[in-house]
Homo-oligomer: A and B are copies of this chain.
Amino acid sequence: MSITLGELATQFGCELVGDPSLAISSVATLSSGREGAISFFANTAYVKALASTSASAVILGASDLEKCPVPALISSNPYLTFARVALALYPDEIMSPGIHASACVADTSRIADTAHVAANAFIDSDCDIGEHVYVGPGVVVGPRCRIGNQTRLLANSTLVQDVTIGLRGIVHSGAVVGSDGFGNAMSSEGWVKVKQVGGVRIGDDVEIGSNTTVDRGAIGNTVLENGVRLDNLVQIAHNVHVGEHTAMAAMTGIAGSTTIGKRCMFAGRAGSVGHVTICDDVIVSACTFVSKDVIEPGVYTASFPAEKDKNWKRKAARFRRIDDIINRIKALEKKILK
């Protein structure tokens, strides 16, 4: 795909500085650019890379224009404009419609004529697969799933059962959506399984990362609202409700029945215990878990970053004797403040 710089400026509402006929055909970093590549500048740490960029054009803010040695698109949000340009330059491959001979589809399921069902895919009973849906090789779609138009289920992902996905979703490889939640009741003979009978309801424009797991509700649904983004190896337990446009980086884990607001962000290996409510616009830092309701937007943290082992070990040993610290202060206070 090749688009002129002038077309990009028009399409994405940018001021153009330079030759509108310049052909753009790829994206690049500032330093990896080649002829025909467009890059972006959004972080002053890269100002030297901008000055010596080998890209043919750069997307940047108006105030950075003078540092740019090549044609430019001016944007108030260069990274967002870059994202949109990249989507235009690299459209999703249009898969030819049809069901591969090696795929198995139950008679009671409806597959849209424009859908692509790849080799060795399996679609169980009572499913509805929408227009332009892509069902990749090795994908299993269990009974009673409904997949909205243009959604893509990538290779070897699994929808276990009773999963509804909206429009334009992406389920990455190895993800498992709709498996049983972890419900067990202790008896005198050991654990008795608590049958999980709910499903998963997923809105539009939701992306689910590789090897991520989203459990079905115990009763009722686990819910991911529109625009939710889950990275790889994330765990969403039964009956969790994730609000619109909330994003979770890799290895985040949310325990059962927790409700999360809109536009929250969980950094890597963040998480929450079960049965709590987290309001909108909460950011949970890396390796931090929420243990109770959060009612105020903002950043929440409880993790220590690595330091030299010897230093950490000494401090940790002192922390383990924090009772002694308090006692010594008390003794001093008694002596002084008596």
Binding site for B on A (CB under 8 A): 26-29, 32, 77, 79-80, 82-84, 86-87, 89-90, 100, 102, 104, 118-120, 122, 124, 136-138, 140, 142, 154-156, 158, 160, 170, 172-176, 179-180, 182-187, 190-195, 197, 205, 207, 209-211, 213, 215, 219-220, 226-227, 229, 231-233, 235, 237, 244-245, 247, 249-251, 253, 255, 268-269, 271, 273, 284-292, 294, 296, 298-310, 312-316, 318-320, 322-323, 325-326, 328-329, 332-333, 335-337
Interface centre among A185, A269, A316, A325, by most chain B C-beta atoms within 10 angstroms, is: A185
Please indicate the chain B residues that have their CB under 8 angstroms from the CB of A305 in the complex: 289-292, 302
Please indicate the chain B residues that have their CB under 8 angstroms from the CB of A104 in the complex: 100, 102, 119-120, 137
Complex Cα gap A89–B219 (Å): 13
Choose among B120, B173, B179, B271 the residue that contacts A176 (Cβ–Cβ < 8 A): B173
Residue of B nearest to A231 (CB): B182
Query: Do the beta carbons of A192 and B84 come within 8 Å of each other?
Result: yes
Query: Do the beta carbons of B205 and A190 come within 8 Å of each other?
Result: yes
Complex Cα gap A154–B170 (Å): 22
Closest chain B CB from A160 CB (angstroms)? 6
Complex Cα gap A195–B88 (Å): 9
Complex Cα gap A120–B179 (Å): 20
Please indicate the chain B residues that have their CB under 8 angstroms from the CB of A323 in the complex: 314-315, 318
Complex Cα gap A219–B26 (Å): 10
A209 with B245, Cβ < 8 A, contacts A155-B122, A290-B305, A307-B300 known: no
Query: Do the beta carbons of A269 and B271 come within 8 Å of each other?
Result: yes
Query: Do the beta carbons of B172 and A174 come within 8 Å of each other?
Result: no
Residue of B nearest to A28 (CB): B219
Query: Do the beta carbons of A326 and B318 come within 8 Å of each other?
Result: yes
Closest chain B CB from A304 CB (angstroms)? 4
Complex Cα gap A32–B28 (Å): 52
Query: Do the beta carbons of B229 and A182 come within 8 Å of each other?
Result: yes
Closest chain B CB from A207 CB (angstroms)? 7
A194 with B322, Cβ < 8 A, contacts A140-B156, A211-B176, A299-B308 known: no
Closest chain B CB from A268 CB (angstroms)? 5
Please indicate the chain B residues that have their CB under 8 angstroms from the CB of A154 in the complex: 160, 179
Closest chain B CB from A257 CB (angstroms)? 10
Closest chain B CB from A173 CB (angstroms)? 4
Complex Cα gap A187–B207 (Å): 16
Query: Do the beta carbons of A226 and B326 come within 8 Å of each other?
Result: no
Please indicate the chain B residues that have their CB under 8 angstroms from the CB of A269 in the complex: 253, 269, 271, 289
Q: Write 19 A-B pairs (CB below 8 A) sorted by A numbering.
A: A27-B197, A77-B185, A86-B194, A102-B102, A102-B120, A140-B155, A140-B173, A173-B179, A176-B211, A191-B229, A191-B247, A211-B233, A273-B286, A285-B306, A285-B309, A296-B308, A315-B322, A315-B323, A332-B333
